[in-house]
A and B are shown apart, each in its own frame.
Chain A
Amino acid sequence: MSSTLQLFRQTFKRDLTLAFRRKSELVNPLIFFLIVASLFPIGVSPEPNFLSQLAPGLVWVAALLATLLSMETLFKSDYEDGSLEQLLLSPQPVFLVVLSKVLAHWLLSGLALTIVAPLLGVMLFLPSEGMPGLMLSLLLGTPTLSLIGAIGAALTVGLRRGGVLISLLVLPLYIPVLIFGSSAVQAAVTGLPLDGYLALLGAMLALALALAPIAAGAALRISVSG
């Protein structure tokens, strides 16, 4: 039991250390998040009233794309240098490896996006009543995005050109999270209770937390053995 927990902790620590050694890769999703969000006022309309109506959806779509973009690297370098194979050979359950890697990844992508999100909210004239809803929904929704994305990353890890493919596989599965996430922000803006939306986002997170690591683990075994 203790060695199982140790594996979880070691993988987690290792992933964080590795991530902090490549700081530029760490901020890339955040920069992407900001750039995508600033494309909309330029491309659609800089009108504050118009933008404030679109803001909940726009921030959520930008967060979703930024998470997706960062997903590809989740297992890639470990696959290339062979350490993924070693992790899979260990007698501990694979889903724990996946879970610890996803957790480390989420702290640096999803959580970071959640913290930066109010800035985008201001840029897009999201009314200030919407900010708590935005942050809470991103806090509950982005881990689900990372968990589902891990399945796509695991399925495509052995492929040379996995980038576009992973978005094809994963984006349709992101739709429920997008719906309830942006609805939560919308509800917060209009002053409606948002606990129902948050409860649903939490339920999806619970489901993804229980099932996605297993699926991603199975997918990793298939990808590595193939």
Chain B
Amino acid sequence: MASSWLPRWFYQLASPRWCYSITGKLIPWFAATGGLLFLVGLIWGLAFAPSDYQQGNSFRIIYLHVPTAILAQSFYMMMAIAGAIGLIWKMKVADMVAKSVAPLGAALAVLALATGAIWGKPTWGSWWVWDARLTSMLVLLFLYLGVMALNSAIESETTAAKSTAVLALVGLVNIPIIKYSVEWWNTLHQPATFKLTEKPAMPAEMWIPLLVMVIALYLLFGLAMMLRLRNEILRRERRAGWVKELLGS
């Protein structure tokens, strides 16, 4: 093979059958660790973490708000990267990944917006403000909805996958521009909780459960993604021998 610098598993991923079996093996692990971490993080965050000196207990919604917001962004990244892989290597599984990620990402964006609204009411006194980060999350939701709308409007599956991949990539280029332009335009929101370059501004008793929640939601939404992916694989490969054998028909 000409481009053998890529690891072997990358080529194996291209096989829907291999992907179906490996996700089948991963699912119990994701479910167990994700569920456990979710319970630990939630109980720790809601019951044991110290309350905020200004916001009291209302800040505790951060344990859902921040993880969903982080995931909504990184799922978009995942969708765009999967789309790019699908475009470049013509990999069917990558197209399926991109398609299964989109509705989950949209759901995460909705969750982030909803928890943000609930948090905003006691803190800022209103459900919604036209603040930069709220607006860019709303735009992210619109981008997800556009991708989903385009995918469902095109009948041919391969064309739909390629078109949505192009749109997702265009969106990916635009996300930083949108983010910085709205930030310049209007900002009221507190700065990001986690930054790669700095220590968080909150005490460890507060941010460690938050980190646990972020990891837990990654695992749980990864799990949801794999379940959707498996359905998609079965649906698209329904004429393949191994699927017929598997489903016993």
Task: Mark A residues whose CB is within 8 Å of B.
Answer: 148, 151, 155-156, 158-159, 161, 165, 168-169, 171-173, 175-176, 179-180, 183, 204, 207, 211, 215, 218-219, 222-223, 225-226
Which residue in chain B gives the minimum CB-CB distance to A172? B142
Q: Which 5 A-B pairs have the closest CB atoms?
A: A226-B159, A176-B181, A172-B142, A169-B146, A222-B162
Expressed in whole angstroms, the Cα–Cα distance for A216 and B164 within the complex equals 13
Q: Determine if B150 and A169 form an interchain contact, defined as CB atoms under 8 angstroms apart.
A: yes
- B215: interface (CB < 8 Å): no
- A169 with B167, Cβ < 8 A, contacts A176-B181, A226-B156, A226-B158 known: yes
Q: Closest residue of chain B to A164, judged by CB?
A: B149
> Which secondary structure dominates where chain A touches chain B?
helix
Q: CA A218 – CA B159 in complex, angstroms?
A: 12
Q: Are B173 and A211 in contact (CB under 8 A)?
A: yes
A173 with B171: CB separation less than 8 A: yes
* New contact pairs (17) apart from A151-B166, A175-B182, A226-B159, CB-CB < 8 Å: A151-B167, A151-B170, A156-B150, A159-B154, A161-B153, A168-B142, A168-B145, A168-B150, A172-B139, A172-B174, A173-B174, A179-B182, A207-B177, A211-B173, A219-B166, A222-B163, A226-B154
Q: What count of chain B residues pass the 8 Å CB interface test?
A: 28
Say yes or no: B185 contacts A155, CB within 8 Å: no
Nearest chain B CB to A195 CB, angstrom units: 15
Binary CB contact string for chain B from 123 to 155 against chain A (1 if under 8 A, 0 otherwise): 000000000000000010011011001100110
**Contact yes or no, A155 B174, CB < 8 A:** no
Task: Say yes or no for B178: interface residue by CB 8 A criterion.
Answer: yes
Residues of B within 8 A of A (CB): 87, 139, 142-143, 145-146, 149-150, 153-154, 156, 158-159, 162-163, 166-167, 169-171, 173-174, 177-178, 181-182, 184-185
Chain A residue with Cβ nearest B171: A173
Instruction: Tell me, rounded to whole Å, the shortest Cβ–Cβ distance linking B73 to chain A.
Output: 15
Q: Are B166 and A165 in contact (CB under 8 A)?
A: no
**Minimum Cβ distance to chain A for residue B45 (Å):** 32
Residue of A nearest to B184 (CB): A179
User: Which residue on chain B has the smallest CB distance to residue A171?
Assistant: B142
Say yes or no: A155 contacts B166, CB within 8 Å. yes
A155, A156, A211 — most chain B CB neighbours (10 Å): A155
- Kindly list chain A residues whose C-beta atoms are within 8 Å of the C-beta of B184: 179
Residue of A nearest to B180 (CB): A176
Return B5 CB to nearest CB of chain A, in Å.
Answer: 25
* A147→B149 CA distance, assembly (Å): 21
Q: A204 near B177 (CB under 8 angstroms)?
A: yes
* Residue in A168, A179, A225 whose beta carbon sits within 8 Å of that of B159 in the complex: A225
Q: A176-B177, A222-B159, A226-B154 are in contact. Are A165 and B169 (CB under 8 A)?
A: no
Q: How far is the CA of A136 from the CA of B154 in the complex (A)?
A: 39
Q: List 8 A-B contacts (CB under 8 A).
A: A155-B166, A165-B150, A175-B181, A179-B185, A215-B169, A215-B170, A222-B159, A226-B154
Q: With A169-B167, A171-B142, A215-B170 given, is the CB distance from A155 to B150 under 8 Å?
A: yes
Contact B169–A159 (Cβ < 8 Å)? no
Most buried by A among B87, B170, B181, B182: B170
Contact A158 B154 (CB under 8 A): yes
User: How far apart sit A201 and B132, CA to CA, in the bound complex (Å)?
Assistant: 19
User: Residue of B at shortest CB range from A178?
Assistant: B181
Whole-angstrom distance between the alpha carbons of A141 and B139 in the complex?
Answer: 20
Q: In whole Å, how far is B66's beta carbon from the nearest beta carbon of chain A? A: 23
Query: For B143, what are the chain A residues with a Cβ–Cβ distance below 8 Å?
Result: 172
Q: How far is the CA of A175 from the CA of B137 in the complex (A)?
A: 13
Chain B positions within 8 Å of A211 at CB level: 173
> Of A158, A180, A226, which one neighbours B181 at CB under 8 angstroms?
A180
Q: How many angstroms from the CA of A161 to the CA of B173 in the assembled complex?
A: 27
Chain B residues with Cβ under 8 A from A218's Cβ?
87, 166
CA A6 to CA B150, docked complex, whole Å:
35
How far is the CB of A80 from the nearest CB of chain B, in Å?
17
Query: How many whole Å from B152's CB to the nearest CB in chain A?
Result: 10
- Determine the distance from Cα of A156 to Cα of B146 in the docked complex, in whole angstroms: 12
User: In the complex, A22 Cα to B173 Cα: how many Å?
Assistant: 36
Do B149 and A168 have beta carbons less than 8 Å apart? yes
